[in-house]
C-alpha cells in the first residue's frame, strides 16, 4: 500500500444557535487532502485554547483532563490507521472515522458467504462438483444456521467474531443436538472450514478459527459379506417376488461395485461392448463424477437378462427395477434374517463386498479394483485391502513355505 499524506487536528467550532462563550471541540482527520470532522462532544472556552497546538491551555485540573482525553483520541486514530493497513483495507479519512465510531463499511456474515459459495458450487454441478457434494454443503449450511440460532439467538453471525470457541461449540452441538457420529460431524465442520478459509484468504477474518482444531476422521471398520454369506444369499429361494427382486439387485451391486444411486440410474445404454468383445458397464459415478468402466461377471449378466422385460425397466430404459432407498434397505433387513446373516445389509455393504470378497481376495490387483470402483486415488481403495484376513492368511502361508526352504 502506498504511503498517504495524513493529519489530525483539534479545533473549536461554534454550534448553530450557540450564544454563550463555550465552543465544541472537534477533531479533523485528513488523508490525501480529503478531510472529515467529528465532534468530541467536549465544550471549551476559546480564551483557554491554543489554536496552533490544538490543545487547552492553563494549569487547572479541567485543562489536564481535556488534554489527556484528546491525547487518547489521537492514539485511537493512529491505532485505527494501523489496523486498516494491517488488514490491507483502503486508508481514507472516512474509513478512520467509521472505525472510531464503531461502524464497519463491510459487515460480512458467515451464512451470506456460505450461501454465495453454495450458489457458485451449484452452477458448477456436473462440471466440477457432484450433486451429492452440493447437497452435503447445503446441509452443512442449514446445520450452521440452526446452531447460530440455538447458541447466539441470531439469524446470522459476523465473520469477524468467528473464533475457536465457535468451532468447538458447533462440534459439540452437531454431536449432541443433531446426533451426528464423529465422522459426520467432521464432514460438516470440514465444509464450514472451506467457507471460513474463503474469509481468511479475502482478509475478512484475521485468523483461521480452526487453527488447533483437529479434523481427523475415525477409520470405519468395513464389514463386507464373506464367501459363505454371499453363497447363502445367492442360493436362497424367496417365496415373495418383491423380496427376491431386492436380493437380485443387491447381488448385482456385489458383483459390480455400484452404489445405490448409480444402479438406480443405470441405463440400458450404459451396457456396452468392451475392447475384449464382452459386455461392460460404462457410466459415471454420481458421487464423484468419476468415469466407471466395469466388465460384467456372469452373475451380473444373468440378473440383467432376468429383468430385461420388466415393465419398470422397459418404461424408463433402466437396467434394473430399483425401488426407493428406504424400501430397499427395509427389505434387505428381512433378507438378512431369512438368510441367517447377522450383519446389517445396506447397499454400501454390497460395494464393500465387491471390493473385497469378489475382487481383492481373488487376486484382482488393487489398481484395477480402484478403477472399477471409480475412486480418484488409490488411497481410497487401500481401506478395503486392510481388512482382508484371507489375503493375510494366504500371504503368510506363502511365507511359511519359503522359510521352510531356507
Provide the pLDDT for residue 344: 85
Q: For 74-87, how does the pLDDT look when each residue is reduced to its tens digit (9 = 90+)?
A: 999 999 888 888 77
Instruction: Report pTM.
Output: 0.58
Q: For 221-261, how does the pLDDT look when each residue is reduced to its tens digit (9 = 90+)?
A: 668 898 999 999 999 999 889 999 999 999 999 999 998 98
Domains delineated in the chain: 6-100 (no CATH), 110-201 (1.10.150), 227-398 (1.10.443.10)
Provide the pLDDT for residue 1: 46
HEC string of the chain equals: CCCCCEEEEEEEECCCCCCCCCEEEEEEEEECCEEEEEEEEEEECHHHEECCCCEECCCCHHHHHHHHHHHHHHHHHHHHHHHHHHCCCCCCHHHHHHHHCCCCCCCCEHHHHHHHHHHHHHHCECCCECHHHHHHHHHHHHHHHHHHHHHHCCCCCEHHHCCHHHHHHHHHHHHHCCCCCHHHHHHHHHHHHHHHHHHHHCCCCCCCCCCCCCCCCCCCCCCCCCHHHHHHHHHCCCCCHHHHHHHHHHHHHHCCCCCHHHHHCCEHHHEEECCCCCEEEEEECCCCCCEEEEECCHHHHHHHHHCCCCHHHHHHCECCCCCCHHHHHHHHHHHHHHCCCCCCCCHHHHHHHHHHHHHHHHCCCHHHHHHHHCCCCHHHHHHHHCCCHHHHHHHHHHHHHHHHCC
pLDDT, one tens digit for every residue, the chain (406 residues):
455 788 999 999 887 666 668 899 999 999 998 999 999 999 999 999 999 999 999 999 999 999 999 999 999 999 988 888 877 777 888 888 888 887 655 678 999 999 999 999 999 887 778 787 899 999 999 999 999 999 999 999 999 899 999 999 999 999 999 999 999 999 999 999 999 999 999 888 888 999 999 998 887 666 889 899 999 999 999 988 999 999 999 999 999 999 898 999 999 999 999 889 999 998 887 776 678 889 999 999 999 999 999 999 999 999 999 998 888 988 999 999 999 998 888 888 999 999 888 998 888 888 898 889 888 778 777 777 765 655 566 667 767 877 876 6
Amino acid at each position: 500500500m502506498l504511503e498517504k499524506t495524513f493529519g489530525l487536528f483539534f479545533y473549536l467550532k461554534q454550534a448553530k444557535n450557540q450564544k454563550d462563550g463555550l465552543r465544541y471541540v472537534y477533531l479533523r482527520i485528513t488523508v490525501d487532502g480529503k478531510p472529515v470532522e467529528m465532534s468530541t462532544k467536549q465544550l471549551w472556552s476559546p480564551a483557554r485554547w491554543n489554536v496552533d497546538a490544538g490543545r487547552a491551555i492553563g494549569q487547572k485540573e479541567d485543562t489536564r483532563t481535556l488534554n489527556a482525553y484528546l491525547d487518547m483520541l489521537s492514539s485511537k486514530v493512529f491505532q485505527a490507521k494501523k489496523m486498516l493497513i494491517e488488514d490491507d483495507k483502503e486508508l481514507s479519512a472516512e474509513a478512520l472515522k467509521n472505525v472510531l465510531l464503531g461502524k464497519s463499511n463491510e459487515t460480512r456474515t458467515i451464512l451470506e458467504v456460505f450461501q454465495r459459495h453454495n450458489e457458485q458450487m451449484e452452477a458448477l454441478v456436473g462440471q466440477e462438483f457432484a450433486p451429492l457434494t452440493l447437497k452435503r454443503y447445503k446441509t452443512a449450511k442449514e446445520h450452521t444456521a440452526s446452531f447460530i440460532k440455538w447458541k447466539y439467538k441470531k439469524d446470522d453471525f459476523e465473520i469477524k467474531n468467528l473464533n475457536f470457541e465457535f468451532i468447538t461449540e458447533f462440534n459439540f452441538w452437531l454431536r449432541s443436538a443433531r446426533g451426528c457420529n464423529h465422522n459426520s460431524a467432521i464432514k460438516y465442520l470440514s465444509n464450514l472450514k472451506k467457507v471460513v478459509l474463503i474469509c481468511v484468504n479475502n482478509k475478512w477474518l484475521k485468523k483461521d478459527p480452526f487453527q488447533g482444531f483437529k479434523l481427523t476422521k475415525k477409520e470405519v471398520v468395513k464389514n463386507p459379506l464373506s464367501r459363505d454369506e454371499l453363497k447363502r444369499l445367492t442360493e436362497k429361494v424367496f417365496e415373495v417376488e418383491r423380496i427376491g427382486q431386492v436380493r437380485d439387485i443387491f447381488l448385482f451391486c456385489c458383483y459390480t461395485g455400484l452404489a445405490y444411486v448409480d444402479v438406480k440410474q443405470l441405463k440400458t445404454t450404459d451396457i456396452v461392448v468392451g475392447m475384449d468383445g464382452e459386455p461392460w458397464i460404462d457410466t459415471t459415478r454420481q458421487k464423484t463424477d468419476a468415469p466407471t468402466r466395469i466388465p460384467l461377471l456372469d452373475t451380473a449378466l444373468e440378473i440383467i437378462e432376468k429383468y430385461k422385460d420388466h415393465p419398470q425397466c422397459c418404461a424408463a430404459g433402466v437396467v434394473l427395477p430399483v425401488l426407493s432407498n428406504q424400501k430397499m434397505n427395509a427389505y434387505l433387513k428381512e433378507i438378512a434374517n431369512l438368510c441367517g446373516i447377522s450383519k446389517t445389509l445396506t447397499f454400501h455393504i454390497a460395494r464393500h463386498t465387491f471390493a473385497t470378497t469378489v475382487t481383492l481376495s481373488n487376486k484382482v490387483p488393487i489398481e484395477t479394483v480402484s478403477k472399477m470402483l471409480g475412486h480418484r486415488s488409490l488411497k481410497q481403495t487401500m481401506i478395503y485391502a486392510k481388512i482382508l484376513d484371507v489375503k493375510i492368511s494366504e500371504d503368510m502361508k506363502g511365507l511359511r513355505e519359503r522359510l521352510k526352504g531356507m
